């Protein structure tokens, strides 16, 4: 069977990009907005429930309750005649975790900044 050079290159590119299959979607990521528009975005997430350590640590009945407010700033622009935007997010986490460690009930409270996230996206089609 004879493969064209393009098919071989596409197959090779697909194999190289195998570990790059994840995508992170943010609010307004593909929204087409007027150039030099700005927005401030506040997102809040709350989680409550059990934790699963898969036996990696000797903790029984682990539970957690935590919340993550996220402050984001959005700015739209143009890149090579296409709509583009930049979003920067700064989350802050607050949580209480508890469980039994070797028969003793333990509880811990943690709060602080979570990983900063910056995203630049360009619409290749439309806009």
Model confidence pLDDT, tens digit, residues 22-72: 566 666 666 778 889 999 999 999 999 988 888 788 888 899 999 999 999
Indicate yes or no: pTM above 0.85.
no
pLDDT digits (tens, 9 = 90+) for 67-104: 999 999 999 888 888 888 888 999 999 999 999 988 89
Report how far residue 91's alpha carbon sits from residue 95's, in angstroms, rounded to the nearest whole number. 13
Contacts of residue 82, defined as CB under 8 A and 6 or more positions apart, other chains included, come to: 122, 123, 124, 127
In the numeric block, the tokens 């409550």 are attached to: 48
Q: What pLDDT shows up at residue 116? A: 92
**What are the boundaries of each domain within the chain?**
22-122
């Amino acid at each position: 069977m004879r493969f064209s050079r393009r098919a071989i290159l596409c197959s090779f590119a697909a194999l190289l990009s195998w570990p790059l299959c994840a995508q992170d979607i943010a609010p307004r990521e593909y929204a087409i907005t007027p150039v030099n528009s700005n927005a401030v975005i506040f997102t809040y997430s709350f989680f409550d429930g059990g934790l699963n350590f898969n036996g990696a640590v000797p903790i029984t009945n682990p539970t957690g309750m935590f919340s993550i407010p996220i402050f984001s700033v959005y700015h739209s622009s143009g890149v090579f005649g296409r709509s583009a935007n930049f979003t920067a997010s700064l989350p802050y986490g607050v949580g209480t975790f508890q469980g039994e460690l070797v028969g003793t009930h333990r509880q811990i409270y943690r709060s602080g900044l979570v990983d900063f996230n910056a995203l630049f996206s360009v619409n290749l089609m439309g806009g």
